[in-house]
Structure 1
Amino acid sequence: MTDDGRLVAGRYRLSQRIGSGAMGVVWTAHDERLHRTVAVKQLLLQPGLAEADTDEAKRRAMREGRIAARLQHPHAVAVYDVAEDDSQPWLIMEYLPSKSLSAVLSERGTLPPRDVASIGMQVASALAAAHNAGIVHRDIKPGNILLGDDGTVKITDFGISRATGDVTVTATGMLAGTPAYLAPEVAKGYDPGSPSDVFSLGSTLYAAIEGEPPFGLSENTIALLHKVASGKVNPPRNAGPLTALLMRLLRAEPEDRPTMAEARDALAAVANGQAAPAFTPAVVAPTHPPSWRGAPVQQPQQQAATRALTPPQGHQQAPPPNATRVDMHTPPARTASAQQPPSNHRPAAAPQYSQRPRPAAASSSLKSKKSTVYTALAIVAAAVIGIMFASMISNGGDNGTNNNAGANTSAQQTQGNEPTKQSTPPKSAGKAGQWTQAPEPSDQEALLRDYFTAAPKSASESWQMTNAKFQGRQQGGYAGYEQFWKGIQKAELVSATYDGNFFWKTEVKYTKKDGSVSIEPKGFSIKWESPNMLIETESSLGAPRSG
């Protein structure tokens, strides 16, 4: 029995079956009204559904199809129509002569990093436009990326998979299908948001380079789901210039990932043979829980109403409970305003430094106290030098001195090799241990200049000028921080403007060891907790430019 030649919805004449999967069958068809070739997808409903569930699945498919039809982008397969024929929902889509990325990987195994970056850039451009339109894809994977015969790359199946696709939940709450490309927060049962799309894109590109997704492939979907929920990704081995960017896309915390627009620009740079720009997560404080941080998806109507309300400014929300049950059978109703803000903003966030009280103005008494501190330090230093000199004489000269110096060096090296174990940097580092009252702006600027002078020469020294919050945000911890500075010959503060509340807007000039020079606008917040003054956050304030 065949459906070749069947007329769907009185208009679309089926021609050739070109694909099938858990969610449906795809045909080429002739639109007899507009005389063009289209792709027609028959959405297959799960067998054994109750009548009410079947009706709801149909309505959901229709609704999601209409949402997807709002997006018109050169790198997204357009949805022309949603129809019902023989009690089954059908999607009428743009036809693109192509192969899926999944099929290409099955043939070739892997693709070169720059080719993968080019594919990712085109997909990310469509997804960034979708996020701006309030549309979240929710099922980015190699099978949904089409590589056109003419070199065009397009993503398909916007929103449909959530309604009827291969990651669904049965009435008993058991997951059906593979979660290999899910974001950790979705694997835990939270509502997908635009950051979830960023993670899934990263997983897809990772698979194109490494031959399998970041968490592997397993027939035991529950075990795989637990691995995804952990968010622990092994760095790719074959990604070359894409390595750092992939790891940023695959960060476990949604708020730590770049936006899709940032991902698009970085992928474009790698595709063109340039270095991907570094992203530092914005310094943010939630004003209300983002969609992916809300309660697990269990009561759609109640959750939709909750997300539609914005708590008052500064209201602190309790963290969501840890969810163990994945429930994606009925997605909550969504509105464009509740789904995704413009792509150049972090979701539901405001600059954290704006909430800090302004420091009191420095007074003459502060200067007097600082002068007293300096005098005391000078006296202590003189005493220490005298004791050391006497010790040198009593121990017979150079041998004892050299042994002590070697022991001190060894201790310092041990500290430098394990900086992440320190909750508070040593008081002797940077400007720590000197300030019993609020430092003046000139003192804060001196800290920043000392930091950039020290970092290219000794990453361990500059690391100790930062606090635990700064260190916790570094990709790869101290090892990643040290690796970055190994490639820098010189760093200097070109300009520094105090913005109040211990925040500085700066331009930093990096001279790399390969001879390239870049100037990057950066923001720094400084944390003063008597007596320590340390760098707390670093954020990007714009695109870098060549020096």
Structure 2
Amino acid sequence: MNRRPPSTPPALPGFTPRRLIGSGGFADVFLYEQHLPRRLVAVKVLLREQVTPASVEAFNTEANIMAQFSSHPSIVSVYQAGTSSDGRPYLVMQYCPKPNLQQRRKRGDRFSESETLTIGIRIASALEIAHRSDVLHRDVKPANILTTEYGQPALTDFGIAAAVGSEVEGLSVPWSPPEAFGDHARTGPAGDVYSLAATLYTLLASRTPYEIPGGQNRNADLIDRIRHRPLPPLGRPDVSPALTHTLTRALAKNPQSRPRTAVEFARDLQRVQIHLKLRVTDTEVPGEAIVVDESSQDVERTRFRNVSAPAVPGSIVPMPIQTAHPVAPSARRQTPPQKTLRPQVGTIPVGAGVRSPTKPRGPRRAVTLGVSIVAGAIIGVSAVVGIRTVMQGTTPAAAPQPAVATATAAGAAVPAVTGLRAYGAGTSRTFTWSNPQPMSGDTYRYRMVGSGGNSPLTAVNDPRVTVEAVSAGPTCIEVTLVRDDHQTSDPVQGCSS
């Protein structure tokens, strides 16, 4: 298909046009030099033939959305907007001079696992900020992740962004989630999580998730595969199973099987960084800037946690305080093996299929995003601000119903879970179980099973899950214990009455 000729840059007071830097179906992007303050800027200009009341409204909406979030370090900044003398709306934005991720991919750049993790965490943070204001991006893809002059990724093009729960009006098929296709399709935050995971997959595989090299890759072919076919292997032996598992979960066809929020996906990616002993990337989300490594089995370890509050623009933010919580010998004797004391705020337990790094001899380390402080003891603390620990697990108020469980295979290397029981009534059921031999890094995988078929496997860290009750018949799940080295137990099934 022939490309259309570029439009002519409009005359804008205080700006001098330099050259065309990008074209799309509805707008061109030009490089301008701003006179005061003197700097290079990118100016997005709506095409003259696209100027209609509806398109102008959409263009203005994009300007307002990007301006709302442009203070975020991983979202392209918007400086001003207006209408040129010839009636074309324009948007003045931060100029990102380096190639965007799509350009890098097409020129053959090989993205490392480390760089891909950093990109994923930063863009997930940007999406979380938008989602907290009930705004979906709905077009996350490599071409919409620019690169600043300092080499940092920055999300742009909120052109088809919309409020949570609205119908899908436009999409880029290769990176769109299954629920985006069909009549009156609607997506939520999990749709943006899917698109970001598909983008990271694309960077690593050098192809979109359901693209078949040398095969038919029309939109209709891709849509059918996205909706009905299993995810193809990544094809990168140098990428860790931990990251592969994390991307596979985020690309689940069922939105409920993906991370619930963008920041949860960012935490999953941070766990992979911990597993690979990489520097942990800051989430850039207020109140979400703490990671604690709890991988050690040493009961004498000292845990550290930051006390922090969301930053207020223009305010002075004090250095985060870290407080030690040694576990008393009497508390260790009284605490059941399956329960541990953990900080309530900011703790990220080791995720499914992710091995924690081996801790060095000597003082234990707390890994924080931005600041890492090692302390042997804290003496003379006169006040502790907002610190308390909570015991994991609570006793359900409702009387438990027995769950029918399969027996553990004799001699299995990894023991099956025990005591699988169901609670609750109405529209949901809560299942709990016990780990007969708890070890550091243990996680679980569960799925709903029944006559209607099995749901995708979902990873959880705690021996407790709440699911939607089946409308007719019993509600059943299957649970598998997963060791830190990826070995699994025999599955155990349980049903509520």
TM-score (norm. length: structure 1): 0.49
**Distance across 2 between alignment mates of 1:466 and 1:7:** 60
Which residue of 46, 60, 63 maps to 2:61?
63
| Cα distance per residue 1:454-489 (max 9 Å; x no partner) | xx9xx9xx99x99737x945638xxxx9xx9xxxxx
Tell me the equivalent position of 2:457: 475
Tell me the equivalent position of 1:193: 188
Whether the 8 Å contact between 1:4 and 1:16 is mirrored in structure 2 is no
Whether the 8 Å contact between 1:269 and 1:275 is mirrored in structure 2 is no
Q: CA RMSD in A?
A: 4.9
1:272 CA drift (Å): 5.4
1:87 CA drift (Å): 2.4
Matched, 1:358 2:352: no
**Distance across 2 between alignment mates of 1:31 and 1:134:** 33
Whether the 8 Å contact between 2:44 and 2:91 is mirrored in structure 1 is yes
Matched, 1:117 2:117: yes
Whether the 8 Å contact between 2:33 and 2:40 is mirrored in structure 1 is yes
- The 5 Å alignment of 1:417-428 reads none
Tell me the equivalent position of 1:37: 40
1:432–1:253 CA distance, 2 compared to 1 (3 A):
closer
- Counterpart secondary structure, 1:81: strand
- Counterpart secondary structure, 1:251: coil
Amino acid of the structure 1 residue aligned with 2:434: L
Whether the 8 Å contact between 1:179 and 1:187 is mirrored in structure 2 is no
1:32–1:147 CA distance, 2 compared to 1 (3 A):
closer
- Counterpart secondary structure, 2:173: coil
Percent identity over paired residues = 24
Matched, 1:263 2:265: yes
Matched, 1:448 2:447: no
Whether the 8 Å contact between 1:19 and 1:27 is mirrored in structure 2 is yes
- Counterpart secondary structure, 2:266: helix
**Distance across 1 between alignment mates of 2:82 and 2:190:** 31
1:21 CA drift (Å): 2.6
**Distance across 1 between alignment mates of 2:104 and 2:159:** 24
Which residue of 12, 35, 58 maps to 2:15?
12
**Distance across 2 between alignment mates of 1:126 and 1:12:** 29
1:31 CA drift (Å): 2.5
- The 5 Å alignment of 1:208-219 reads 208-216=203-211
Whether the 8 Å contact between 2:202 and 2:208 is mirrored in structure 1 is yes
Matched, 1:180 2:220: no
Which deviates more, 178-187 or 188-197? 188-197
1:84–1:250 CA distance, 2 compared to 1 (3 A):
same
1:191 CA drift (Å): 2.4
**Distance across 2 between alignment mates of 1:191 and 1:474:** 21
1:62 CA drift (Å): 0.9
1:147 CA drift (Å): 2.5
Greater fraction helix: 1
1:243–1:511 CA distance, 2 compared to 1 (3 A):
closer
Tell me the equivalent position of 1:288: none
Question: What are structure 2's unaligned runs of at least 5 residues?
Answer: 281-346, 348-392, 403-408, 423-430, 465-480, 487-492
**Distance across 2 between alignment mates of 1:253 and 1:185:** 8
Which residue of 229, 235, 238 maps to 1:237?
235
- Counterpart secondary structure, 2:31: strand
Tell me the equivalent position of 1:392: none
**Distance across 2 between alignment mates of 1:66 and 1:226:** 35
1:361 CA drift (Å): 12
**Distance across 2 between alignment mates of 1:265 and 1:466:** 22
- Counterpart secondary structure, 1:7: coil
Amino acid of the structure 2 residue aligned with 1:32: H
Amino acid of the structure 1 residue aligned with 2:245: A
Q: How many residues are treated as equivalent by the alignment? A: 325
**Distance across 1 between alignment mates of 2:59 and 2:107:** 32
The structure having more radius of gyration, on CA atoms, is 1
Tell me the equivalent position of 1:73: 72
Which residue of 203, 206, 211 maps to 2:201?
206
**Distance across 2 between alignment mates of 1:228 and 1:150:** 35
**Distance across 2 between alignment mates of 1:431 and 1:360:** 11
**Distance across 1 between alignment mates of 2:447 and 2:191:** 31
Matched, 1:226 2:221: no
Whether the 8 Å contact between 1:12 and 1:31 is mirrored in structure 2 is yes
| Cα distance per residue 1:85-117 (max 9 Å; x no partner) | 222221111112211101111112542222211
1:6 CA drift (Å): 4.6
**Distance across 2 between alignment mates of 1:137 and 1:128:** 10
1:139 CA drift (Å): 0.6
Which deviates more, 66-75 or 214-223? 214-223
Whether the 8 Å contact between 1:452 and 1:492 is mirrored in structure 2 is no
Tell me the equivalent position of 1:129: 129
Whether the 8 Å contact between 1:122 and 1:153 is mirrored in structure 2 is yes
1:231–1:64 CA distance, 2 compared to 1 (3 A):
farther
Amino acid of the structure 2 residue aligned with 1:227: R
